[in-house]
Amino acid sequence: MPRSLRYFIPEISENGVSNEEWREIARLQHWYNSEFIWSCDRLAMKRFILFANYDRLPEMPYRTAKFHFRKRFLAKKIELQDEIAAVRALEEEGLFSVRWGGVRDNSIASGITRVADNEFNAYLVCEFLLKCSTIAREATFHVEDEGRFILPGRAMFRDGSVLIARDDLYPEGIDVPLDVPQVFSVVNPAKYDEHPRFEQSVEDFDELDDEEIHAASHEFGVLGFAPNYDSAWGDNEGLNLQLRARKVELI
């Protein structure tokens, strides 16, 4: 699987997001997904995942049943004027199975965005989460990066600030300096103006000979972990997410 960023809001008492805040976050997510070009996935912060119980309508063809479930869900949202209330109502009716919190256990919401080696996409994911934290000020947004955009590998956003665990930044337990160092790589977005989309499959793979398989594996096997930066701290010039935060704090 290509290099990913995984993000979530832990389901703990300190975290709270109102329905109005969720609507603002949803609008912001839609804008990011529409405004920018994504190499693999787009943003996918979700409060729930719905699984239609098609066995409740065995007489219907699959496509007809799929349309029926979508229509019922939209009608229930209009009736109740509340998306979460609509989901709970349809869950009680047995029409849907619901995974609350999205893709991650013990979360209010979560998502995964595969970005491969498009570091500008990685930047956009984290910029989105930083902005979300200025909308839902009582929630902490966590993100984990398999690549090198988040230099310590993990970060948190709350009320416009960046929070970094000391153990992530200084795993050897060395003395912590007074000034917080760079924790996000600087990204030059111009590098990704013509960046290709990442493909996860090879056409007619079963028909390739050993040499062709080796060539295909070499091309696709890096899974988007290529070193695209000018230095260990990122590009020589570009976007610095750290400067957009209200503050950066070690916890």
Instruction: Write down the pLDDT at residue 221.
Output: 43
At residue 214, the pLDDT reads: 61
Average pLDDT over residues 147-174: 88
pLDDT for 69: 85
Segment 88-110 shows an average pLDDT of 90
Which of 16-25, 90-99, 155-164 has maximum average pLDDT?
155-164
Of 110 and 83, more confident:
110
Q: What pLDDT sits at residue 9?
A: 97
Q: What is the mean pLDDT of residues 17-25?
A: 92
Give the Cβ contact number of residue 216 at 10 Å: 14
Q: DSSP code of 89?
A: H
Q: Count the Cβ atoms, other than its own, within 10 Å of residue 3.
A: 24
What Cα–Cα distance (Å) separates residue 50 from each residue in 69, 71, 89, 204? 10, 14, 13, 33
- Note the pLDDT of residue 228: 83
- Average pLDDT taken over every residue of the chain: 86
**18 Rama sector, left if φ>0, alpha if ψ -120 to 50, beta otherwise:** beta
Q: Which two tokens stand for residue 83?
A: 């998306």
pLDDT bucket at 233, cuts 50 / 70 / 90? confident
* 69 Cβ contact partners less than 8 Å away, ≥ 6 residues apart: 52, 54, 95, 96
Q: How confident is the model at residue 53 (pLDDT cuts 50, 70, 90)?
A: confident
What share of the chain in percent tops pLDDT 70? 87
**Once rounded to an integer, what is the mean pLDDT over residues 94-103?**
89
Q: Are 231 and 182 in contact (CB under 8 A)?
A: no
> Cβ–Cβ contacts within 10 Å for residue 45, how many?
23
The answer to whether the CB of 143 falls within 8 A of the CB of 111 is: no
Residue 195 pLDDT grade (very low, low, confident, very high; cuts 50, 70, 90)? confident
Residue 111 phi, psi dihedral angles, 5° rounding = -170, 165
* pLDDT confidence of residue 197: 75
